[in-house]
Structure 1
Amino acid sequence: MASVHDLTPAALLRRIEWTVLRRLDGALQGDFVTLFRGEGIDFQELREYVPGDDLRRIDWNVTARMSTPYVRDYAEDRDLTAWLLLDRSASMAFGPSQRGKDDVLVELVACFAHIFGRGGNKVGAIVFDDGPTATIPPRAGRVQSLRLIHEVLSRRPHSTSTTDLAGLVRAGVGVIRQRSLVIVISDFISGPGWERPLRQLAERHDVVCIQIADPLESELPDVGVISLQDNETGEQILVDTSDAVFRARLRELAGEQQRALTAGVRSAGITLHTITTDEDLGRGFLAMASRRKLARR
């Protein structure tokens, strides 16, 4: 199968429609948009907190007066505005030549743009590649889907510094004014400081975080001495993958980093979803939908 970078936006969208979206429609019976629909902005009622309610909806002023937790309920908007915050930095180029992390990124953009746009919902994007961000205002329809795919395909990272994911999230805080569904898609390989702006984003919007990962980032095969290069800094090192102690230490460090990432995202009241380069995208979406259902109960 051809890489997504060898396809036109229209050809890629057609492939996604046949290989992923038709399967989702059958498995979820058209319920996928409902799972990702954000809360409305129209206040409906104030009621006592019950276990499972979103803690971000607690009205602290009323809670203090009544000495028991109260939450604010909102009427759901009929239309949805979705924003995709997309990391196109150099580390996203890692992975197998036939399907790296940047390929998965483009596939996800095609899926989300089509899923939301076909129902008349508006979809926009902020694309970050370690330089000036590109902002595509939200619009509905197939033309918008093709524009979003083209923008991501055409962006090439040019920086040799470590990704500043906080810059992408701060751009979302500054640009997205109307309450929206915001989907952050990144490998989350970044310098520190992105947690605070992520919490600021989640205070106003319904935020979903999707991590794109490659298995080789945490588990190297035993293939002897190889040269590894950091895509962002250009630094190269030689490693002996036949060293069992080295491979075990790599797994340990990767596990520590993943736990720290999960905790950082959770601190903003957000569940982290992970999709890998060797994972079937349809199954990845179904797993994401299942976790979304559980989070909303």
Structure 2
Amino acid sequence: MSLTTADILKKVRILEIKSKKLASDLFTGEYHSAFKGRGMSFKEVREYAAGDDPRFIDWNVSARFGHPFSKLFEEERELTVMLLVDVSASSLFGTVNTTKRELATEIAAVLAFSAINNGDKVGAILYSDTIEKYIPPKKGRTQGLYLVRQLLTHEPAQGGTGLGKALRYFNNTTRRKSIAFILSDFLDTGYDDALRVIGRRHDTVGIKIYDVMDQRLPDAGLLEVEDLETGRRQWVDTGSAFVRQEYEGEFFRITEYANNVFKKAGSDLLHLRTDEDYVKVLQRFFISRNRA
């Protein structure tokens, strides 16, 4: 069922109110502490003074003038947050509370308004197995509302998933160091190299969103199931313990793959089931970053 303009505006407004409240009441301090100060930009050189960190001596300038000079850095006051959101067909799946796509949209809205509350820029890349939409980073409430509206209404042209392609596109379009949140069920593979490249330049955080039935099949006898991304249908005997065990084993194999790829890239990966409280998961993550 397609949404009317009035339905869309109502949903955007509800998400804005909820997201802004969470962003201001719960996440402002944690967000600020977790990410502010991680980006430092070069300001100037000055003559070396007692107490300066010797690691920041500018040896070229020092050699030219015959005595030591130090490089000075300042905290980058303005950050850029990019949201890479998986809008492939598998994101439409959900059996408890909400679909993966709806939950990703809500989390993206909270992250967007957390950034906006701190005066940061926020942008987004919506991807399937192609780049569906690129929203350049900007500041302000209007940008937040536009981003939320696109997440709510965008209908992907393709059904598959290609995270590697989205990461390469992000790397090519985003020169300045950014905070990249990747919201996906991470069901695809082959994004190792692309993640390692952006992990060197950007502060990268994955949020794996999954449904309880992504992990476990119910014991419900013979069921006809459809792969949302390929349209392929097949009968599955969910009454077989072996079938259920193999299904769960595949979930853990693909999850372990994502864990390893993010670890090797020096990036964080959070795991969030659709029936869990994402607020607590994000809070724990922000607080752990502050202690790191």
**TM-score, normalising length from structure 2?**
0.81
Q: State the Cα distance separating 1:154 from its structure 2 match.
A: 1.6
Is residue 175 of structure 2 the alignment partner of residue 177 of structure 1? yes
Residue 24 of structure 1 pairs with residue 5 of structure 2 = no
The total of aligned residue pairs comes to 264
Partners of 2:132 and 2:157 within 8 A in 1: no
| Aligned position for 1:216 | 213
**Structure 2: runs of 5+ lacking an equivalent:** 1-6, 44-52, 57-70
Please give the alpha-carbon distance, in whole angstroms, between the structure 2 residues aligned to 1:233 and 1:253. Answer: 18
Q: 2:195 aligns with which of 194, 198, 203?
A: 198
Counterpart of 1:9 in structure 2 is 12
Task: Quote the offset at 1:287 in angstroms.
Answer: 2.6
Farther-moved stretch of structure 1 (102-111 vs 134-143): 134-143
- Residue identity over aligned pairs, in percent, reads 30
Q: Which amino acid aligns with 2:104?
A: L
CA shift at 1:193, angstroms?
Answer: 2.4
CA deviation string 1:249-287 (max 9, x = no partner): 222221122111100111111121111111112112123
Greater radius of gyration (CA): 2
User: In the alignment, is residue 279 of structure 1 matched against residue 279 of structure 2?
Assistant: no
- Judging changes above 3 Å, is the alpha-carbon distance between structure 1 residues 124 and 266 closer, same or farther for their aligned structure 2 residues? same
Whether the 8 Å CA contact 1:90–1:158 is kept in 2: the answer is: no
The answer to whether the 8 Å contact 1:5/1:103 transfers is no
> Distance in 2 between the 1:212 and 1:107 partners?
12
Residue aligning to 1:115? 114
Partner of residue 158, structure 1: 157
Counterpart in the other structure of 2:103: 104
2:131–2:166: 8 Å Cα contact kept in structure 1? no
Amino acid at match of 2:281: G
Q: Which runs of 4+ in 1 moved over 6 A?
A: none
Selected match of 1:187 from 169, 185, 188? 185
Aligned to 1:67: none
Counterpart of 2:257 in structure 1 is 260
Q: Matched residues in 2 for 1:224 and 1:33: separation?
A: 50
CA distance in 1, matches of 2:241, 2:156: 34
Query: How far has the Cα of 1:15 moved from its partner?
Result: 2.8
Cα 1:202/1:73, change in 2 over 3 Å: farther
Could you say what secondary structure the match of 1:135 adopts?
A: strand
Give the distance between the partners of 1:6 and 1:230, measured in 2 at CA.
32
- Residues 77-130 of structure 1 show CA distances to partners (whole Å, capped at 9, x for unaligned) of 122111111111111111127411001111011101111101211111111133
Equivalents in 1 of 2:174, 2:127: separation in Å? Answer: 15
Change (3 A) 1:154 1:38: farther
RMSD over aligned CA atoms reads 2.7
Which residue number corresponds to residue 266 of structure 2? Answer: 269
Distance 2:290 2:219 in 1: 40
Q: Do 2:84 and 2:182's aligned partners in 1 also have CA atoms closer than 8 Å?
A: yes
For residues 28-73 of structure 1, the C-alpha deviation after alignment (integer angstroms, 9 at most, x for no partner) is x72322213362242595649xxxxxxxxxxxxxxxxxxxxxxx99
Give the secondary-structure state (helix, strand or coil) at the position aligned to 2:29. Answer: coil
Corresponding letter in the other structure for 2:15: L
Q: Give the Cα separation in 2 of the matches to 1:165 and 1:21.
A: 27
Counterpart in the other structure of 1:59 = none
Unaligned runs of 5+ residues in structure 1 are 49-71
